[in-house]
Amino acid sequence: MPAYWWVLAALLAALTTAQLANNRNIWWLIVPAIVLSAVAVWVLTTWSSTVLTVEEDPDGTRWLTVRSASLPSDVVSRSLAVPATAKRNAMGRQLDPAAFVVSHGWVHEMVMLVLDDPEDPTPYWLISTRNPEAVLTAFLPEQTDTSLAHYRSES
């Protein structure tokens, strides 16, 4: 989450508190300040937190979970780390509407996972992450060298 969002949330909470406390006793300042600050922190942390998890089942299949969606590693045909310089192109006109996308504007790198699953109409996953190398290494260690080659040359 960008720092200026936190500043704007604090300013909004302060202005709303000041409006509520205008010409009233001190409790109209204290209680709304605490409540509105807590709400602002909760909203911003909820908006900014997307948890990516990689787990391995007893069969040896790795699963990537983002929000409520799960992806097994055996349906991924190719993977790619998308550097910050290519994010705009990846999210631009050629973006397939059927793709699974989790994007945050303040996270500049992404991971693209191209799927080869005849039962799933989703062509690929495109996920924002601060550390694409770690995600690809944990989820697809056998594809790490090829999927990070272009990323390392761009960084």
Q: What is the pLDDT of residues 73-106, one digit of tens each?
A: 999 999 999 999 899 889 988 889 999 999 988 8
pTM: 0.73
pLDDT score of 58: 94
pLDDT score of 147: 65
Nearest to 144 by CA among 91, 79, 84, 47: 79
Residues 57 and 117 in one domain: yes
pLDDT score of 76: 95
Task: Report how far Cα 15 is from the mean position of its chain's Cα atoms.
Answer: 30
Residues 99 and 123 in one domain: yes
Give me the domain span that covers residue 17: 3-48
pLDDT score of 51: 86
Helices within the chain (DSSP H only): 3-21, 27-48, 87-90, 132-139, 144-154
Q: Which residue ranges in the chain fall short of pLDDT 50?
A: none
Residues 72 and 133 in one domain: yes
Residues 130 and 77 in one domain: yes
pLDDT score of 75: 94
pLDDT score of 155: 57
CA–CA distance, 16 with 54 (Å, rounded to integer) = 42
Would you state the structure tokens that stand for residue 53, as one six-digit string? 């998890």
pLDDT score of 151: 65
100-108 long-range contacts, Cβ below 8 Å, gap at least 24? Answer: 100/69, 100/124, 100/125, 100/126, 101/125, 101/126, 101/127, 102/50, 102/66, 102/67, 102/126, 102/127, 102/128, 103/127, 103/128, 104/48, 104/50, 104/128, 106/1, 106/2, 106/48, 108/84
Contact predicate 2/22, CB 8 Å = no
Residues 137 and 65 in one domain: yes
Residues 61 and 34 in one domain: no
pLDDT score of 152: 62
